Structure 1
Amino acid sequence: MVHANAVLTPRGRLLLARRIVDEGWPIVRAAEHFHVSWPTAKRWATRYAAMGEAGMTDRSSRPHRSPNRTPTAVVRRIVELRWRRRLSPSAIASTLSLPASTVHAVLVRCRLNRLSHIDIRSGEQIRRYEHDHPGSLIHVDVKKLGNIPVGGGWRFVGRAAGNINRRATPGTARSKHRDVLLGHAYVHTVVDDHSRVAYAEIHDDETAATAVAVLRRAVGWFADRGVVVERVLSDNGGCYRSHAWRDACADLRVSHKRTRPYRPQTNGKIERFHRTLAGEWAFARHYSSERARRAALPGWLHTYNHHRQHSAIGRATPISRLTNVPGQYN
């Protein structure tokens, strides 16, 4: 691709061809005038005579025939395995007895070399969206986690030691099947759609009263950082379908939207946040008790908002997308 002021841009080619065809210049003289070789001048003059001004544009360098190109039927099979079964290029190559390089080239050509934009359930392309300013939409949801027994859970100490710790934890109950019940921690989470700034609280239930209280505190928390919440998106959980939630949204002047039933992808930003929450906080290290894990949440949230780079916003930190945070520019 030539730069705009080069001699043989489409405009320069047109001038060269017109000198030869329309004005009758000798090819050698025109070539010297435009500082190109005479075969080049002759080629553009011939093309101008045959096609006119439209022939002065660049042509694709793609060959007319590609005898070694992967057959269409094979390409469709590769795409099907990638979409429906989410196989890697090596796995697809093994299944179809093809070179992995060929499979990867097909996936790149079909823009399927990355799986991040393909829905894991339906195999269809994910429709992404992002609101244009902080507070335009916040996502809310509840992440349910099993409480950790004193001494640590089975993920880090093993099944046998984990069961011993469960039975030895004070305040536990037993079900009719003699299983030790430790209860659950309900992490009420709020994520701003534009900035990905997150707010979270841990409670022992997911009732409407608790969800409403979390919403009010979250709206106030965002207001302290210069963000006015306009809309809230939730799933169809009972606490979000309650009259208390409806009245709280009206009192806060927040428009409430719910996702389509059985379609968690609509609330995908907070679902992805829950995955990060689980991997980097809830199950990231050995906690000696549930109290220790809950005490670690505020520190992790600060790291997530202020220091952890977020790939979906250009590897910036979420808090950097809030422009009115007090003291941000001091």
Structure 2
Amino acid sequence: MRKTPIDANLELGRTGLGCMSMTGGYAPATRDDRESIQVVHRALDLGVALFDTADIYGPFSNEQLLGRALRGRRDRAVIATKCGLVPGPDGALSRDGRPEHIRAACEGSLRRLGVDVIDLYQLHRVDPAVPLEETWGAMADLVAEGKVRALGISHATVPELALVHSLFPLAAVQYELSILAPQLRADVLPWCQANGVAFVAFAPIGRGYLTGGVDGVGVGDSRSSDPRFTADALAANRPIVEGVRSVAERVGATPAQVAIAWVLAQGDRVVPIPGTRTLRRLEENVAALDVRLGPEDLRELDALPVPTGRMQWDRWRSTDNFGRRVGAR
């Protein structure tokens, strides 16, 4: 598998595994830790290196599950986790970029993951109540202490990316990127390419919608707060699904594989991390590395309609990954 370097000593495969859904998310009632651990093991066998989690996923249980899955296999994995979002008593989220919180969060993640060092430590959201220089300085201190190998950030603006990169090298950024969410191609992605920073793309299959198998979301499904998953938006976006399916039939791939291949085609430093908790979907997703989209295929996909319900940047920054408002402390 080709590699995408993110610093002098750390490399990512061309696709990783998003672990969030293993402990909740789309259908929390179907959680199966045993199969999720099998998925992690199979991903390693298929050459997947990057495993992405966060302390807020669960909260905390996702890191614990990944730690169990990687026991005895730590040297084969690049572990990425995140800090900076905290749960409230009512389930609402808030941002916390205070240096003391960053340090405590890192210690907690190390303990739950069962490791001595985190390969990629990412700031989940910028806290407007704390100068970004202070937050990033605390994260850089963790690198100096040997607790973290490289730093990343999620949902930051280009000026914020430039600021943190000038203070301590930014190894990777993480945002949603897919045919259903192409916005970041306008500014963040070009900045990453120009500065040698990896772009870790979550939800490359449009949270499952681009497979063509999502006609609605049920109670407890976190996509229910995403404006792209209202009944009207799901219906309005069907031409996008049909367009992806048309290309998939022409190239002999599945719609999910075409969706991932489109993300891969956005640059050699782009690393999609499709999430799954089933072996069948994992193998399908990894096989997207063998799908070749020609210029005509890419033009056809780029010409698909603008998605209905897509969030504007200011709302995106102030919500979690599913459109739920993230408040201040």
Greater strand share, 1 or 2? 2
| Bigger Rg, which one | 1
TM over 0.5: no
Q: Which has the higher contact order (CA 8 A, sep 6+)?
A: 2
TM-score (norm 1): 0.28
TM-score (norm 2): 0.28
